[in-house]
């Protein structure tokens, strides 16, 4: 599962809410490296997500800062931390991210991650 979060080709297949695509990304996880992901919504102009990797510990942990570009006035840099644990023939994934300036920005991230994880689950289990 860790590779779906660290391999750029795999990441581009599931990242973002439904209907979004990833036209370009610069994503090579290693501590202190920066990344940039271009996100294209179904309608409207593309925007970017950027940050820096804080922890890369295969296959159990990944942490990175999370910034929108351009940023909304209510955005602040957050830290996304993911942990992976094998349980039988599946993987437990735990995500923490924050802190957020407003409840609305928290909801935006929560909903985006939820849809992304649904897409990831479909990809892993080869479901359309």
Q: Each residue of 66-81: pLDDT tens digit?
A: 999 999 999 999 999 9
Q: For residue 126, what pLDDT is reported?
A: 87
User: Where does the chain have alpha helices with state H?
Assistant: 2-6, 8-14, 103-124
**59, part of any domain:** yes
Mean pLDDT of the chain: 95
Which residue range(s) make up the domain with 41?
A: 2-123
Q: Above 80 in pLDDT, residue 127?
A: no
pTM, whole model, 2 decimals?
A: 0.92
Q: For residue 50, what pLDDT is reported?
A: 98
Q: For residue 92, what pLDDT is reported?
A: 95
CA angle centred on 72, ends 67 and 76, rounded to 5°: 45
User: Domain total for the chain?
Assistant: 1
Tracing tokens 């940023």 back to the chain, one arrives at 71
**128, part of any domain:** no
**72, part of any domain:** yes
pLDDT-above-70 percentage for the chain: 98
What is the C-alpha separation between 42 and 53, in angstroms, rounded? Answer: 28
Looking up residue 26, the CATH number of its domain turns out to be: 3.30.530.20
């Amino acid at each position: 599962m860790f590779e779906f979060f660290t391999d750029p080709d795999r990441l581009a297949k599931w990242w973002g809410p439904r209907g979004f695509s990833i036209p370009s990304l610069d994503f090579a996880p290693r501590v202190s490296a920066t990344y940039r992901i271009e996100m294209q919504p179904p309608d409207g102009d593309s925007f970017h997500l950027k940050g820096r990797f804080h922890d890369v510990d295969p296959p159990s942990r990944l942490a990175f800062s999370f910034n929108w570009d351009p940023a909304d006035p209510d955005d602040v840099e957050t830290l996304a931390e993911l942990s992976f644990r094998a349980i039988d023939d599946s993987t437990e994934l735990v995500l923490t991210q924050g802190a957020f300036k407003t409840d609305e920005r928290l909801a935006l991230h929560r909903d985006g991650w939820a849809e992304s994880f649904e897409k990831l689950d479909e990809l892993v289990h080869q479901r359309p």
